Amino acid sequence: MCDNCGCNVTAGNAHLLDEAPASGGAIEVLQRLLTANDRQAQHNREHFDQHGVFALNLMSSPGAGKTALLEATIDALRDEFRIAVIEGDLETENDAARIRAHGVPAIQITTGTACHLDAHLLHRALHDLSLAELDLVFIENVGNLVCPASFDLGQHRNVTLLSVTEGDDKPAKYPVIFRTADVVLLSKCDLLPVLDDFEPARAESALRALGRDTPLIRVAARREPAVSGWLTWLRAELSEHRRQRSEYRLAPPAPRPPHAHRQPPAWLSR
Amino acid sequence: MARGCTVEFDEDVVVHELSVVQALLRQIEAVATAHSAVAVRRATVQVGPLSGVDPGLLASAFEAARGSGLTATTELVFESLVVKVHCRECGVDSTVVPNRLLCGRCGGYRTTLLSGDELLLRHVELGT
């Protein structure tokens, strides 16, 4: 939804707009509460697009295997694409250090107490990356199935992981984050034989019940990495993204002058 | 997240509703300033069940985050909204629950969300 074309008026609120306000003197606003974040996200997307970089936002519960998936992905694709990773965590550089050990640049954003990345935090990290030298940027969001879903970062695709050590009803419990997914990865699938309470078919029907035909792909990123379905999806999405960009490309946006980034709000720092 | 519960916000507890409230306060203040108002009597927001934001937490965060300025005595009002989907197979619109967005007639999952993910500042009533 934007604030320009009237798409903020939905089937759910149109009738309210026909009613007179409860008392006189009300000023109609009808603006998305996250307008400032949305604008910044669009700006971030322009940064990516200026350099033809494809950006993916990875979301899941803590410990679902986002970093392990990225390690396996980097090992498989390092010679094919130029990759960088932006890591979001409340504390520590641990995940960035794990990624760097695989030979690609990683920027760590520590959010302090904040439970999600937002577009402003991501923008600061973008200025520490040489986007002109990259094809793929993975953004590993803070492990959390609630908050990251509400904040657009400027990514091109959302990837949501559901590890098989969690409940197979997670899509029904966290509909917002699973609805935002362009692909859902069932991670740690090598453990399925020893888990008797996770039924991939039940996870899939919970996802379908959200009105989504999102692909559901099984992966196992550790020991003997089995991530080929994910890599196939990723390559296909990247070439589709590039095809659309070359086909429908408008006049490229004017290059932005170098700009400083704003400091994060005081409540973000300890 | 329990709906409607009272949450105390201290330095160790941050929920994303707090980020949303900070954006909301800025928008309310911008409207009030543009109309040279000295106070805001009421602000009405629309928070759909699929917006990812909990109205109870948003209300608590609003109490915690507003300062002593224009919004010191503002009443925050929620307009409730339903989740509606349009079936791409049979063309019927249905009202559904947030984690079961299936067509009410044919049960199909190829649906398009018509409403339920709104997160909007609807209107602002200024005071004197």
ipTM score of complex? 0.81
Whether A230 contacts A68, CB under 8 Å: no
B residues 15-44 closer than 8 Å to A (CB): 15-16, 18-20, 22-24, 26-27, 31, 35, 42, 44
The structure tokens listed for B76 are 């925050």
Instruction: Report pLDDT digits (tens) over B86-97.
Output: 999 999 999 999
Query: Which residues have a Cβ under 8 Å from the Cβ of B44 and sit 6 or more positions away?
Result: A21, A22, A26, B77, B78, B79, B121, B122, B123, B124, B125
pLDDT at B5: 34
Indicate which of B1, B14, B44, B51 best probes the interface with A, i.e. most A CBs within 10 Å of its own CB: B14
Give whole-number Cα distances, B4 to A88, A195, B56, B58, in Å.
Answer: 29, 36, 4, 9
pTM of the model: 0.85
Taking each helix axis from N to C terminus, what angle separates B16-34 and B55-65, rounded to the nearest 10 degrees? 60
Whether B20 contacts A33, CB under 8 Å: yes
- Place B21 in a pLDDT band, splitting at 50, 70 and 90: very high
A22 in reach of chain B (CB within 8 A): yes
Contacts of B112 in chain A (CB under 8 A): 211
Instruction: Report pLDDT digits (tens) over A67-121.
Output: 999 999 999 999 999 999 999 998 899 999 999 999 999 999 988 878 899 999 9
Chain CA centroid to CA A105, Å: 19
Whether B45 contacts B120, CB under 8 Å: yes
Contacts of B35 in chain A (CB under 8 A): 27
Whether A186 contacts A212, CB under 8 Å: no
A residues 223-262 closer than 8 Å to B (CB): none
A residues 106-145 closer than 8 Å to B (CB): 113-116, 118
Overall fold of domain A2-253: Rossmann fold (3.40.50)
